[in-house]
Chain A
Amino acid sequence: MASTKVSLTVNGNEVEAEVDSRTLLIHLLREHLNITGPHIGCDTSHCGACTVDLNGKSVKACTVLAVQAQDGDVLTVEGMAAADGTLHPLQQAFMDNHGLQCGFCTPGMLTRAHRLLQENPNPTEEEIRWGISGNLCRCTGYQNIVKAISQAAAQMNMKEAAE
C-alpha cells in the first residue's frame, strides 16, 4: 500500500503529511500534525468530540479519510483565538457562562458553534439546540452551552454592527 502525500491548510498554515489511504482525518490531525484539540470520543460518528471545520462544513473527523481532505481548508479549536491570544467570542462566552465542565466535548462544541453562527448569525434557542444536536455533552445538561452560544452570537453581531 503506497502512502499518499496530502497537502492541506490547517488553521491558516499550509501543511503536508505522508499518510496511508486508511488514515482518518482525526489521526492526521492528532498524530501526524500534533493538533490535539479535536478529541476521539465515540469513534463512531455519534458524539461530535472530533468535530472540525472542513471546507466550510462541520465534519466528524473520525469518519472522514485524511485523503478526502486533500487541498482542503481545516479549522480546529486551535485556530479560533486571535494571534495575540484574545479568545474568540465563543470561547469567551463558554468561559463566562460555565459552558463546560470536564471540557472533553468543548473543542467539538466550539468548532460546531462557529459554523452554526456563520450560517445563522442570530439563531433562536431551538435552532442552537438543533444546530449542536450532533455534539454530545455528558456534564452540563447543555443549558450553559446554549446560553454561551446565544451570548456569543449577540456579541459577534454587536461587534459587526459597530464596524
Chain B
Amino acid sequence: MIPGQFDYHRPSSKQEALQILGELGGDAFPLAGGHSIIPMMKLRLAAPEHLVDLGAIDELKGVSIGGNVIEIGSMTTQHELLTSSELSQACPIIQETSALIADPQVRYCGTIGGNVANGDPGNDMPGLMQCLDATYVLESNSGAREVGARDFYNGIYDTALNEGEIVTLVRIPTPAAGHGYAYCKLKRKVGDYATAAAGVILNMSGSTCQSASIALTNVGDTALYAAEASDSLAGSDLGDDAIDRAVSLAEGITSPVSDMRGSEEYRSKMAGVMVARAIRLAAERAS
C-alpha cells in the first residue's frame, strides 16, 4: 500500500514549522512519529496535501525536570521516555505506560506529542496525562496558549487544536515524593490498543488516602478523567468497600463501543477491574 501524493516539508526550526502550517492551513498535517498518520494515508483514510515533518526540530525534543514541574518536548519519543533515568525517579508511571504502547520499533518513532494530540481514544497518553493533570502548550504562528489535558479532548479525533496549531510541550506537575502510581492495561496482545486501561496516582498519609487521581483509556469517545471516583477515595483507607465504590463510579462514566475487543458491558467491567488493580498496586507502591 502506498499513500496518496503529497508535498513533503522538513522544517529545521519550530518557527519555520509554525509558519508553514499557518500558511497551508487545513491542507497540511504535521508528521510526528508517523505511526498513525502514515498507516491512515496508506489506507487512504487520510489524504493531506502537505505533510510537515517535525522530526528535524531539536527544540521540540527532550525531558527537563525542575522543582515542581516536568516538561517534555512534544517530539520526545516513547523510547526516549523509557530510557530517561530522571523520569524513572520523578514520575515512573510515564515509563510504565510507555512500555505498554505498541512494540519496540514503534516506540523508537512514536512521540508523546503525537500520542496526546492525535485524539485517538485508543492512545494511552491522553488518559495518563489527565491522571497527572498535565497541561499542553499549543503553538501556532499567531502565538501560544495552554490547555489542560482534562479539557483538551472533545471526541474521537476531535481536540482543542485549531488549524495550524501543534502541541509543542507537555507540562506535568511533579507528583509528590512517595506517591503511589499504577497504569494497568488489559490488551489482547503486544501492540494492541487497550480493551480497557486505568491510570491511578495516590497520595497517602499513613494508611489514609489523602488524594487520588484516576483516568481511563479507550472506554469512551475520549480518554476520561474519573473525577467522582478520584474524590471518593480521599479520606478512605483504600479498603475493599472504598475500592468497590470507586470502581462503580468509574464504570459509570464509561461508554465503550462493542468491538472485537469485547462487548460494551465487558469493556466497561474491565475498566472497573483495571481501576481496582491500579488502586491496589498504587497503594502497595506508595510510601
Interface residues of A (CB under 8 A from B): 1, 4, 20-24, 27, 43-46, 48, 51, 57-60, 63-65, 67-68, 70, 112, 116, 130-134
Contacts and interface: CB of A to CB of B under 8 A. Distances in A.
B104 A134 contact: yes
B8 interface: yes
Contact of B103 (A48, A68, A70): A48
20 contacts: A1-B6, A1-B7, A21-B5, A21-B8, A21-B51, A22-B41, A23-B2, A24-B2, A44-B39, A45-B105, A48-B103, A63-B39, A63-B109, A64-B38, A65-B38, A65-B51, A112-B104, A133-B190, A134-B102, A134-B106
Interface in B105-159: 105-106, 108-109
Contact of A22 (B2, B55, B79, B103): B2
Given A21-B5, A46-B191, A68-B34, A112 B42 contact: no
A134 B103 contact: yes
A52 B287 CA distance: 44
Contacts of A67: 8, 10, 53
Contacts of A1: 5-7
Contacts of B190: 133-134
A60 B38 CA distance: 12
B10 A22 contact: no
Contacts of A70: 10
Contacts of A59: 105, 108-109
Interface residues of B, number: 28
B1 A43 contact: yes
A5 to B, nearest CB: 13
Contacts of A65: 8, 34, 38, 51
B179 interface: no
A60 B105 contact: yes
Nearest to A2: B7
Contacts of A112: 104-105
Interface in B139-196: 190-191
Contacts of B41: 22
Given A43-B42, A57-B79, A134-B191, A22 B106 contact: no
A130 B99 CA distance: 10
Interface string B1-15: 111111110100000
A63 B4 CA distance: 14
A88 B34 CA distance: 32
A48 B105 contact: yes
Contacts of A24: 2-3, 38
A22 B6 contact: yes
A30 B5 CA distance: 20
A54 B10 CA distance: 18
* Interchain residue pairs A-B with the least CB separation, the first 8: A134-B103, A21-B8, A57-B108, A133-B190, A134-B105, A22-B3, A1-B5, A58-B105
Given A22-B5, A24-B2, A68-B55, A45 B104 contact: no
Interface string B62-89: 0000000000000000010000000000
A68 B38 CA distance: 12
Contacts of A4: 8
A68 B53 contact: yes
B35 interface: yes
Nearest to A129: B190
A63 to B, nearest CB: 5
B38 A63 contact: yes
A116 B190 CA distance: 17
Contacts of B39: 44-45, 63
Contacts of B35: 45, 63
A131 B104 CA distance: 7
B180 to A, nearest CB: 25
Contacts of A64: 34, 38, 109
Nearest to B51: A21
